[in-house]
Chain A
Amino acid sequence: MSVIPYLIELLQVIILLALAPAFIGWVRMLKCWMQGRSSAGLFQPYRDLSKLFAKDVVLAENASWIFRFTPYLVFGTAVLAGGIIPILSVDLPLAPTADVIVIVALFAIARFFTALAGMDIGTAFGGMGSSREMMIASLAEPAMLMAIFTVSLTNKSTSLSQIVHVIYSGQTLLRPSLAFAFLAFVLIALAETGRIPVDNPATHLELTMVHEAMILEYSGRHLALVEWASMMKLFLFVMLGIAAYAPWGIAARGSFTAVPLALAFMIFKLGAVGVGIVLIETGLAKMRLFRLTEFLGAAFLLATLGMLSFFILD
């Protein structure tokens, strides 16, 4: 049992922590360019985070320990997930710890506690935020699992590393099932990471915000942790998508030689995905809450079609 995989594991987590803000920065930057504004630059998120960490915490009187515990938990789950999803290399010691379903569940924990924290203070916005969040989640999760099942059916496994292996080995050229599943996954990822058209990460307008509404009362390091965690969540969803649908470039064996290449690939892909996100977000407007059923319904339909066409056509 060589030590290298463990080092890669560590490296991967570090990269996750380091690059997630940069990715957000990249997205925001592109968005500014698209909309003809001058951007705050790639590193603005870092500045925000460090500022928040520096500040003291201001806590509402009736906040309970749940409220204070949540940020750490959310952060923890994100990091853990980052250790499991193959970002750089497939051969990770933590990989067998959890398969795709578990990862979805990890994000679910984070959501669960965030929602509780939203209700903890007992403000109208907090409750509204958590109620909406849970509603969206309860619709998005089945679709998510369907999309993932399609992949794991085509690759005969639910463990991500294994999926990557299979995709490397087999020739999966032009599979309708995967195409459908991928489309579905994109829609759901938008919903889960709270991007337009499902949620608007940049708004504090009372009636439109969902995720922001829950973390309204946070401040200082708590807020920093939550923000950082949500950045990582976006990053991880992108990674999840890449690992499941376009893993080319991820190192197949745990050796340092392969890592730089994988890193280059990853950064390139991230850039591309960022462009995609920005295109979507500038193209669409935020939906009404109850139009979301149709949105997520479409996602579910696509995922199901994917699964069907796996059985019918492949």
Chain B
Amino acid sequence: MAGFSIHSGSFSGYTFDAMRHAEIPFEWATAAFFLAFAGFAAKAGVVPLHVWLPEAHPAAPSNVSSLMSGVMLKTAIYGIVRVTFDLIHIFPWWWGAAVLTLGLISAVLGVLYALMQHDLKRLLAYHSVENIGIILIGIGLAMIFKSFDLPLLAALSLIAGLYHTMNHAMFKGLLFMGAGSVLHVTGERNMEEMGGLIHRMPWTAALFLIGCVSIAALPPFNGFVSEWLTFQAFLLSPSLPNSLIRLLIPMGAALLALTGALAAACFVKAFGVTFLGHWRGHHNPHAHEANWPMRAGMIMSALACLGLGILPTVFIDWMDIIAEQFTGTTIALSASAYGWMWLTPVSYERASYSGTIVFIGILVVVLAAYLLLHVRPGAIRRVPIWDCGFEKINHRMQYNATSFSMPIRRIFGYLFRIKEETELSPQPGHKAFPKKIHYHLSIRDRFWGWLYKPIVEASFWLSRKVGKLQQGRIQAYLIYSFVTIIILLVFLR
């Protein structure tokens, strides 16, 4: 919030109008922007200011946390947009670049951390970090386009961001409610202790599944629409004058794609481990379906997800007012130019998407196949699990959250602080078959170690290194000259 103090310090009055019309020297503007941004970002939980988020959410009761991620993050976004586009309406492109970069980092790291969680609500909380990242990507792009004075594109990406904000409110609320009802009936937050709930609470399962599909950005639900719009915005970057960002932005698209895919993986895990398979816990649960009001809430937001997914043009027409106010143009003309069914952000030739038809198409084909295959009543025999002819399997053999995320953990391992220890108590006789094996795994978010331990340590370490430039390895020396070149080149450009 210090940003505002600078604002109001540099000119009088807290009213937005006053700020809007005030002339600010550039340095002050920059300082103000970044302070304000930091303030809001901390609120929204942008990496590396996100650490409070996964701590706070699980602590709070479900409805509160759904409100938190639903509303509070939104206010933060509102603040950022308001300050940048409305108060400081003229800014250099690298502000946008900074926002974009932060967004990308938050998105990727957020989803990765989420993937490592086995506490349902922490997982969702980390996903809020990811989604904030995606929203910021949209906003950052909008800023870049605006600073290069391409209002149409700016409007497009701004709307992508805002649309995702709305979507996030919907499906994240849905997911938190689902998680809440699961918590309520099982009294568990640890996924490792769950499983097979789909048989006990079909409604919750189905609705939670809708939430998963939407947040994993799969058509025809809403998550996909905003992500698709963001991709389109990315792909329009070649029309930027600056060669460097023209080159860099598509990389961002790749990162966004990575985020989407990882999110899908993450929610396969979340849903699969929680609702599918066998019950993993020790005490046998007497779980029952969630009560009606809870279900009603979930159903409504689920419907909202679907609606936002298949009728984007309608909602975008509403949003255009904002876009017009901030960037000076609307995309509605082009967006719904080909009827309410087709979403064509820039032009018909460029790209088009119709959630409606995708939805209906899938529906039709599925029904057709189903009916065709059921003209002849095929009896369904229920049998014990075959499992490749594997003998006497039990529920402890199935994959759980930790084992599911293991491959990805191994690939991106260097991003986490992982402590793995296996202790086995060997039984006398044959060493090969120990009596029991204890496997303990702890995964910590690196940023604690990176930022929140006092930086003094780092500087101290450096001071000791002063004399040690000359440490013998020729590679190091080569690195010196390499880095020197890079720095000088940067200095001169």
- Give the B-binding residues of A (Cβ under 8 A): 53, 56-62, 64-66, 72-73, 75-77, 79-80, 83, 94, 96-99, 101-102, 105-106, 108-109, 111-112, 115-116, 118-128, 130-132, 134-135, 137-146, 149, 152-153, 156-159, 162, 204, 206, 216-217, 220-221, 225, 289-290, 293, 300, 304, 307-308, 311
Contacts and interface: CB of A to CB of B under 8 A. Distances in A.
B388 A60 contact: no
A123 B362 contact: no
B378 A122 contact: no
Contacts of B378: 56-57, 220-221
A135 B247 contact: no
A159 B405 contact: no
A158 B150 CA distance: 20
Contacts of B276: 64, 66, 116, 119-120, 122
Interface residues of B, number: 90
B351 interface: yes
Interface in B391-430: 393, 395, 397-400, 403-408, 410-411
B257 A99 contact: no
B342 A96 contact: yes
A60 B385 CA distance: 5
A237 B272 CA distance: 28
B253 interface: yes
A83 B397 contact: no
14 contacts: A61-B383, A106-B219, A108-B261, A109-B219, A119-B273, A123-B387, A123-B393, A123-B397, A123-B398, A124-B390, A124-B393, A159-B350, A217-B385, A217-B386
Given A57-B380, A112-B264, A123-B398, A80 B361 contact: yes
Given A131-B405, A138-B264, A72 B370 contact: yes
Interface string B247-276: 100110111011011101101110111011
Interface stretch (B88-96, B161-169, B231-239): B231-239
A124 B398 contact: yes
Interface in B191-250: 195-196, 198-199, 202, 205, 209, 213, 216-219, 224, 228, 231-232, 234-235, 238, 243, 246-247, 250
Contacts of A64: 198-199, 205, 275-276
The SS class assigned to the A binding surface is helix
A59 B265 contact: no
B386 A102 contact: no
A119 B272 contact: yes
B358 A102 contact: yes
Interface of B: 195-196, 198-199, 202, 205, 209, 213, 216-219, 224, 228, 231-232, 234-235, 238, 243, 246-247, 250-251, 253-255, 257-258, 260-262, 264-265, 267-269, 271-273, 275-278, 338, 342, 344, 348-354, 357-358, 361-363, 365-366, 369-370, 373, 378-388, 390, 393, 395, 397-400, 403-408, 410-411
A137 B224 contact: no
Contact of A126 (B363, B379, B382, B399): B399
A184 to B, nearest CB: 12
B264 A77 contact: no
Given A64-B275, A72-B370, A97-B358, 17 more contacts: A59-B382, A60-B383, A64-B276, A65-B202, A80-B365, A83-B361, A105-B224, A108-B218, A121-B387, A124-B393, A130-B404, A141-B258, A149-B235, A149-B250, A149-B253, A217-B385, A311-B247
